[in-house]
Each structure stands twice: as structure tokens, then as C-alpha cells.
Structure 1
């Protein structure tokens, strides 16, 4: 049995002095089954999954922890 990890992008909400960031979410089901709900990210925050952006996300607004752990 081959197990492959699939990561999708998710956007967190800005909270207090922190900006909204792109995070990685590890999924164990088809990306088509994602409904845009909040999921637990690699770094442990809740963020809304999007299928409009792929992971790894690029830019300055990407969670450094997710970027490191979801390679």
C-alpha cells in the first residue's frame, strides 16, 4: 500500500496584531471532497481551506512553520 501526503492551501484570519497567512493542511481525502470549511493546519491553527490556491504557496504571507514542515 502506497501512502502519499497531499497538502492544500488554507487562509487564516487576521487576529489582533497578526496578519492573515497561508497555511498548509494535510488531507487524507480527495481535494474535491473539501468544502471550504476550517481545517487544522500543519502548524496547529484553524484555517479555511481553498482549492483556488495550491500548496506550497508563494509570497511573503506564508506561515514559516507550515512552509518548513510541509515540504
Structure 2
């Protein structure tokens, strides 16, 4: 059987990072690559008590006895 040729996953192009910096970068790359591929859960539905439209007044409807609904 032939041996698998291992290539480095990350390569430093310029500069000389410390071992701690390389550890941080490799941890970030590993965390980003191992993410769950499912879509995030939809946001929870907002209750009607906090609906901004509730603060808007209803339009006044002209007509007979419209004055009775004007105070509500």
C-alpha cells in the first residue's frame, strides 16, 4: 500500500507567527469548518402586546353614529 502524502492544511505566507497565534488561527478555522449545516431556527413570534401597530389609532369612519366610536 502506498503512504498518504500529507500536505499542510494551513500555510504561513508572510511573517513569523508565534505558536500561540497559529493555535488561535487553527482553532478558528476548525470551528468554522465544523459548523452545523442546518439553517438557524426562525425567530420566536412576537406577542401582540409589544406590537408597534397597537399604538396606532384606528381610522375614524364617518357615518351615522360615528361619534360613538370616536372615544375608543
TM-score bracket for the superposition, by shorter chain length = under 0.3
Q: TM-score, normalised by structure 1?
A: 0.21
- Of structures 1 and 2, the one with the larger relative CO (CA 8 A, separation 6+) is 1
Q: TM-score, normalised by structure 2?
A: 0.21
Structure with greater strand percent: 1
